[in-house]
Structure 1
Amino acid sequence: MDTHMHTLRERDTIAATEMEKARLENQRELRTQLEQINRTLAARMTELEHRLESRFERMGLGGRAAPALGTAVPVRDEVLRPQAPREHGMAGDPGDPQAHQARMREEERLREERVRDERIREEHDLKRDERARAEDRPAESGTASGWRRWF
């Protein structure tokens, strides 16, 4: 009976140790993912901030003098709806080469952003699939954790 109880205690100790190792590894993975999300969000926020500054500059409010994020900015209809060009040579004029180049640059930047986002999404899905496959794989006999040998 003593031998049996001793064996059970050893199993419990090994299982608890392996569970603790798994918990710590999961915490590390979560921390890494959260840091990556934080970096991605910070980059996106910076990009949006630059976009807003350039938009404020185009509206004549100035980049640095633009209202800080989080403050109320009155919404004007002309910002929401594109206006038809009133005279030849204006920025909205389809014949204006500078406006055309600006639109083309913006479209290219958006296209590159979509490609980058898709690549990041694919990498994330790939990593998730690899982790799922690794969890489904049985442990190799030479490297099996102690608790796997008991159960």
Structure 2
Amino acid sequence: MTSSRARRPFFGDLRFLIGLVLVVVSVAGVWLLISSSRQTTPVLQATHTVLPGETISSADFQVVEVGLAGLADAYLAPQDLQDDAVATRTLPKGELVPSRASGTTPSCARPRWSSAAPRSPRVWGREAPSSCGTRRCSRTDAHRMLRAFSSAMP
């Protein structure tokens, strides 16, 4: 018994062409996804703990390649580090450096006063060491201030 209907070639079938297009599109999509996830951006990472008010330079950081996708502008790139940059907040060892963590004016390592704390430089009967206004606060000034505060605490 023979079929009265003539068989069309399979490559002329619409379902075959749609399936072929779907396979090509899915392979191209996976290739684009993988290639975009492998793009990395060089950013700075702290090699030691940096205190607020401390002058920062390239010696304080190492360059690491990380995949940040759309967040690359939120972190400090090696070419964005300025010569007179100062840390505006504490940067623990190993942290990627956010763009907001560096500034050009020293915000000395003074504690942020709560509404209950005294606003004078005298803390618990001792004079708080400060070199702000005369020169940039150094790491030594920040450590001296922390020692004065911690030794005066009850």
Q: After TM superposition, is the score higher than 0.5?
A: no
Q: Highest CA radius of gyration, 1 or 2?
A: 2
Structure with the higher strand share, 1 or 2:
2
Q: RCO higher in 1 or 2 (8 Å CA, sep ≥ 6)?
A: 1
Structure with the higher helix share, 1 or 2:
1
What is the TM-score of this pair, normalised by structure 1?
Answer: 0.32
